Chains A and B, each alone.
Chain A
Amino acid sequence: MKNFYPIVFVIFILFGNNIASVYATEIKLTVSVDKTIVENGGVIRFTIGVHGAFDTDQPQLPPLENFSTGYGPTVSTQTKIVNNSVSIYRGFSYRLVAKKTGKFTIGPATLRYKGKIYKTNPVNVEVVERTPFEGKVDKGRGKDIDISKRVFVELSTDKKEAYIYEQITRSFKLYFQKGLPIDNLEYIPSSPKSFLVEKLGDEKRYEAVRDGILYSVIELRTALFPVVSGKIKIPPATFKCNILIQQQHRRSWDPFENSLFNEFLGRNEYRYPVERSTTSLKLTIKPLPVSGKPKDFTGAVGKFTMDVLAKPTAVKAGDPITLTINISGKGNIQTIGEPTLAPEGSEGFELYPAEVNTTITDREEGIKGRKLFSKVIEPQYENIKATPAISFSYFDPVLEKYQTITSKPIPITVEQSDMETPIRFSLEGAGRAKGQVRILTKDILPIMSNLHSFKNQGLLLYKRPFFLAFIFLTPILFVIACIYVQNHRELLQTDMGYARKRRAPSQMKKQFSDTRRLVQHGNSTEFYAALAKTLTDYIANKTGLSPASITLENISDILGSRGVSPGTVEKLKQCLESCDHGRFSAGQHSKDKLEDVLETAEEVTKLLERQL
């Protein structure tokens, strides 16, 4: 008992208001028949539905001259709680038997409720003659089924005229008579090429009355975003299903004809395939107006809002700040472009491309969602006080004009960076972007006036005779030199006399230098001996004789026969005699004397070199 009062309280809280609201609203009266065409003597079910109240009286039937009422009414009640909303329904079903053929209108049923009279719409019913059955379904029973009235489809859009990129809701509705058993439902949607397509929510199931018949409706919806302007056609959609039709059989003794057995095997059901196609739809897609189009418009069409958040707001120069720009609203959120940063406030910021995250939040009543732009900006200087203003433009198809949302600059604090800043050459606030060169005039460069480098360049080297002579003569000279050197080398190796003659001057020079060293030592005996040997060896090498065969007695003949002048021979003999005298005399000679003799010998050899 202790727990009873809290439970009652909770129930009151949950339902009390709703019940009150239900009773506060007005009731609604509907009428439906299970078929609008019936054979004479056939039965139709006539149902009057009362929505919104349980405490009503039984509705008053209209005068039914052409129908006889059977038992009834059968009363059914229904209560639905969807999303905390309560809907109440009470149905009064009557069984009407057609008495004669013709088209009849069943007048409105009336209901008095709380002093107010409610009326239903009239319903048309056609009563036809009972005819023998020629249907495709069950020939044995003599009964046809009008399938087209029982199952049909509709394709519709919420608007016939729209702007490019504007959202259009396309609805595909499948109507099938309530209670008609169908299975294998297959929906083949049309594929329009000039639209971006987004699915809208789950399929909707509800009931609707058409021409007095109660139908169950399955509705499939898609959002279309036209991408081209002009007269655009939406191709038809197709729907396929099977209708299950119960077959009746004559009683049989065959145990396999037993109805229960057949039902178990599915023999009592006949699957009747049905295919329905909608008609195509024509839409007029208008281009977006040119006049009044903002510069930053990037193609967003719909209704949007924008929030901007900067984090962190206190940084050092060169550190990043993330601007989170949230654009949300109804429209094709996928095609929204990045909002624009005001150029006047962007100076001094290093800007990076934004990262984008798109979320569709609602698909029930059109595409709704948000697009998040995370843009990193880096303030470069410490005198920056706020982030740049951000603007976003879109076209509102309801107002038929462009809208621009501009966020205010967010105040930030920028401190001096720890890093050294490079020297700036441009003046602050000079009215131009830093580093931008302003070209005043374009002109040619001045003339050349350097006289040092002024020379005649028209004299081409290859046109000069010297050049040509050089080019042709050098290789010839080179070849001649090579031949000469080769021969010389061969003679040196093969002809001993030639080799001695060629080497005589160099050998003599070497011996003279050795002899000169003896002058310095003051050794006259050795000096004279060396000098005599130098002269004898030189003459022997030049003449090709052995040094021993050259004596003072025969030297005149030897040299005379080789064209040496008698004067030179005489000087040579005197020199050799001086050497002999010096070698064999007892006393030492002075250095001057020795040098005089050496010079005389050198002169003689020079004379001999010319003449031999």
Chain B
Amino acid sequence: MREKNILTFLILFFMLLSGSQTFAGDVTREEATDVFFKANEEYNAAQKEMAAKKEKEALEKFEHAAQLYEKLLESNFISGQIYYNLGNAYYRQGMSGRAILHYRRAERLLPRNADIKANIGLLKSDFEDKEAMHQAPEILKIVCFWYFFLNLNEITAITIYMYLAFMASILSIIFIRLQWLRKVSIVFASCLLVLVISLGLKAHNQYSIERGVVIADECEIRYGPGEEYEPKFAIHEGAEVKIEEERNKWYKVYVYVDVEDVRDEKDKKDIEFKKGWIPKAKVGKI
């Protein structure tokens, strides 16, 4: 009777855990789905107008679709699909910076989606300067596949399941005295350790390192946080930056695009050169 009670308790707890995921938020899923559907319809209509060379009408519809997507996001309904579609809507309006910003946000939530990567690649191919972002080696992506193919929430959920499995196996060893579970519990413990480390790294990468995208047409990177400082160099819309510091209405950023060509030979390896200050309004945080 007691074993049954413990198992029932765990099942109920798990249901509570996963059930709460569905019903939280400011809007219900049904309401959000309605708005999402309407926004998609608007986008598709705009696409047709564009094909019919009715550019003005198409632009209006793209703007409307983007407003609907933004409305959904403002109501705390966050989805990779919304970010991706919003990126497309901004791209159609000629705002490549905002498009990349939303594609990057979508990528965090849908790390396995190839369409997002393809669109980012397409937009970046228009840039003449080289991207200097550090990319993980392919072999690492294969070996640590769970880290690269799962988003933070998915890794968290799997870690919890693994934690529960580990606890269940330990309790089973104590109560039911199943000796073969000892080896299984060691496997669970190893997996749990790996997952906890992965979770920590992922959370650190996502929240401790702030990244942004330049959303203004062209933007000057200055030596200090203010207009009174001399401009250092100019970067284009869509360039990605790492935000290192925040002061008043300025961010201190490290620019990922390669700025070697504008410097003297002797300064080529100077990392400090890529750093500078940019107005907050011109950068969108990913």
Contact = CB atoms under 8 A, between A and B. Distances in A.
Given A456-B24, A458-B78, A481 B153 contact: no
Interface stretch (B117-125, B181-189, B250-258, B271-279): B117-125
Interface string B197-220: 000000000000000000000000
B78 A464 contact: no
Interface SS, A side:
loop
Contact of B76 (A447, A458, A466): A458
Contact of A442 (B33, B85, B122): B122
A256 interface: no
B165 interface: no
- The number of chain B residues touching the other chain, given as a range, is 35 or more
Interface in A436-452: 442-451
Given A447-B43, A455-B79, A462 B170 contact: no
* In the A-B complex, the 6 residue pairs with the closest CB atoms: A458-B78, A447-B85, A448-B81, A461-B156, A445-B115, A444-B119
Contacts of A482: 174
B115 A456 contact: no
A464 to B, nearest CB: 6
Interface of A: 442-451, 453-462, 464, 466-467, 470, 474, 478, 481-482, 485
Given A448-B81, A451-B36, A478-B171, A457 B157 contact: no
B32 A467 contact: no
Contacts of A460: 152-153, 156
Given A442-B122, A466-B17, 10 more contacts: A444-B122, A444-B123, A446-B88, A454-B33, A455-B79, A460-B152, A466-B16, A470-B13, A470-B160, A478-B167
B175 interface: yes
9 contacts: A451-B36, A454-B33, A456-B77, A457-B151, A459-B78, A467-B17, A470-B17, A474-B163, A481-B174
Contacts of B84: 447-448
Interface SS, B side:
helix
B4 to A, nearest CB: 15
Contact of A454 (B21, B32, B118, B175): B32
B233 interface: no
Contact of B24 (A442, A444, A459): A459
A474 B153 contact: no
Contacts of A445: 115, 118-119
Given A447-B40, A448-B85, A485-B175, A458 B77 contact: yes
A446 B152 CA distance: 26
Interface string B63-82: 00000000000001111110
Contacts of B17: 461, 464, 466-467, 470
Contacts of A466: 13, 16-17, 20
B156 to A, nearest CB: 4
B109 interface: yes
Interface in B119-139: 119, 122-123, 125
Interface of B: 6, 13, 16-17, 20-22, 24-25, 29, 32-33, 36-37, 40, 43-44, 47, 76-81, 84-85, 88, 91, 109, 115, 118-119, 122-123, 125, 151-153, 156-157, 160, 163, 167, 170-171, 174-175
B240 to A, nearest CB: 18
Given A448-B85, A458-B78, A485-B175, A467 B160 contact: yes
Nearest to B72: A456
A458 B73 CA distance: 9
A522 B257 CA distance: 95
Contact of A459 (B25, B36, B40, B151): B25
Contacts of B119: 444-445
Nearest to A475: B167
A461 B153 contact: yes
Nearest to A444: B119
Nearest to A478: B167
Nearest to A473: B13
B152 A451 contact: no
B40 A449 contact: yes
Contacts of A461: 17, 21, 153, 156-157, 160
B81 A444 contact: no
Max count, chain B CB within 10 A of own CB: residue among A447, A461, A482: A447
Nearest to B85: A447
Given A461-B21, A470-B17, A454 B174 contact: no
A16 B21 CA distance: 120
A453 B81 contact: yes
B78 A456 contact: yes
A459 B18 CA distance: 11
